[in-house]
Structure 1
């Protein structure tokens, strides 16, 4: 029998229940294992997170299907409605489970879409979501909500399993059999109360408030660099980079940098000195790892500098000079275009680099996890 009745679950509801349980329990294990795995096993960590995210999307789809199916069905009555406290707790846990089955994968999906790269979802439909901006701050907020909701889901699953075991071992009734093989149990109820649903809403409201509350231990931002004296003053600009990770381009950047620019428009020659606050780097969900000793080693090398001479070349210009990064000085050629009008210069440039030249990511000596080439992109507006 596919349909539910007042005293039993149909085959569709039971199948969706156990499929949801299998996916959720598997995904909880994948998530916990991936979180605990060290960055020394980055390839395995990325693979586990990719599987976790892919199963999360599947869990969302299955849970949504299950809920939509349940809305069209008769809901079997509680077996012991006279046990009011127990029934209230059981129904509250059910409401929390239903909400968590949707909200946990959804918040994780939104976090993934709001950040750059790291462990792509293993499907051909892209990594973004409509209306979700690329924002490290928003991604971090969603990560906190996802984390809290995940623990709420695990707590609800534990209570749900404990309740089922109580019915099977202590009460020895037909609650578990009703979901295992569709055994009839329970009598029709004349009325159901909304209090368990309202209690579940309160639980999620409290969880959300806890997740987004400010943390006293949140790290303070690094002190900003002082503006450099310059013939041309940078008014705004971006300093970004991209690298291929697990076959997908990942974009990052530095929010704090200065440039002292001397440039003669008549001859097209000049000089630039750039200082970068390495603690200002962001690169999606792997920002903390990027700051670590294996990559930029921000603690030991808090700044990077680039000192280059500017000259015309072809239809544009180049800046050539050493980039001092992580204790290594390596020549870098930056090709750029320049448009100057009424004392305002707009520049856009690119440079191709190899991370190995600066001993970045030495432990990742093949491109299966992190590519060797790094594309640097600079855009700025300056006035004099």
Structure 2
């Protein structure tokens, strides 16, 4: 049997419209076999970089706080009672001895009268015992009474004298209690708060008025736990107020709490400003900048040069036109810059912009190169 002829099959089985797709497919396969694949060229990403250099850096930090008086007293009555009078308002200047509030004195006055009456009774008993003792002493000299009777009269006189002394002390104490119904300022100052009103019944010692004493002012700030040791070694403190930021006031660390605040987890610090101008008022917002000791041969980088991942802090270093991720150890801050303790060396080139868009080994094109040694500490990039 003769073999089938393909050309005859196409001529007989396929009509002219059916032949066109097959011819096009065959031509495409021939062209695909002859065409070379196009090589994909990686485009270099433009980056801004800085050339690392070591130099002397003066570290520091700035914290915000509030201007307060060095001494602010919370005054309260030394006895309990009902408030019948309030003489001051918030912001009222007061002088030492000036009346601030007053309690209802009637109960205290009655107690004072009772103590006075008890004193008079004790005084009468003492005088009677003294007279009897004198009389029995005369009778004893004439041998009309025994020594035992005289001894009993001496004992009665001593008891009467002790009762009198007790009544005198009770009267003095009750007189003081009556005087405590009037609350007075213990120093010159200004009222910063009123915590009780007329008609309110308060217990002894309950704070009712807050008075800030005139004199030295200070700024209260909160220090994070990682900056406590550095603040203790700070060589200088400069204070500025939000109202007048151009005015710098010298300050000094006066007190640093050894215990962190349970709410903010910061350590309260008080910065004394003995030379504060008159326009620095209580309650103003203030900023305290600390200058730490100068660090020689320190490497500093802009904050935007840091790259943070799960392993820690790193920077992108440019080598041979490509970048690689290098872990670094930080030693602190200097204004808007960070101090690097290890991981990079002077002379290396570090990316300062677009660090989150890079990947290891990526080709880069340098836009500009700066030298960290030529930049002042704290300069913004």
- Greater relative contact order structure (CA < 8 Å, 6+ sep): 2
Task: Please identify the structure whose Cα radius of gyration is greater.
Answer: 2
Query: Greater strand share, 1 or 2?
Result: 2
- TM-score, reference length from structure 2: 0.18
- TM-score, reference length from structure 1: 0.17
